[in-house]
Structure 1
Amino acid sequence: MEDKNKNLLASQDLATNLTALVVDDNIINRKIHQKLLKNAGLKNQGVGNGKEAVDIHCYGQSFDLILMDMDMPIMNGIEATKKLRSMGICSMIVGVSSRSMESEIQQFMEAGLDDYQVKPLTITKLSSILHKIKH
């Protein structure tokens, strides 16, 4: 199975110089998503809430991809996405949440998301996201 996943990624010729930020208050979800990104060749780091995601950009860091959870303490994904967009951040921001109600997803999308994926993120979902970044 492991080899099949590597082949799936390799066959799509995914860029290995992409960077990603995982924003999730659940450390297990954050680590899983970071491992998926790492296996796909993306340098990445994780933060525990939206405020940390905004702060890291204030310090001058930038990312090609931001995986944003919706429900987090201090600053949720909707607030953080709006704030990042208002700061001129053009990274691809993908909402990754277990929420499935259309109205909640719509509200998250309207905050400035480029895409939305239901948790858990899989290698197939990640490939689809990365494909959009490259094109």
Structure 2
Amino acid sequence: MKLESPKITINKSAQDTFDFLSDVKNFEKLMPENISKFEVLDTDKFLFALKGMPEIVLKKKEAIAPNKIVLGAAGGKLDFSLTANIVEPKPEQSVVELIFEGEFNAMMAMMIKGPITKFIETLATNMPKQI
């Protein structure tokens, strides 16, 4: 399953955007309002939970400055990744697209597609206000 957020324009350089997203504690600022828990576990790992959903631990798996950050599931039963692709169309402007990818059975994919789509859209739309 592959889900993509809308492309969001941010009035900061790609490097500034990359630096913000590289610091996992900043993801708390991007979370939806229905977050019930957020905890930084390490410099590259955090845990979060949305109301009615199980806790999810994300770990920074890859960082290629200033264009790509990959977060992946750290433990648990589901294996997935959340990638932030960052481009700089002009100085002091960056465009970010979040891509969620994971292998799920048909039943699980059907159950999580809506909530995950809404989740990555919320992360993306909150970026211009926070970075």
Give the TM-score normalised by the residue count of structure 2. 0.29
TM-score normalised by the chain length of structure 1: 0.28
| Higher strand proportion (structure 1 or 2) | 2
Tell me which of the two structures has the higher relative contact order, counting C-alpha pairs closer than 8 angstroms and 6 or more residues apart.
Answer: 2
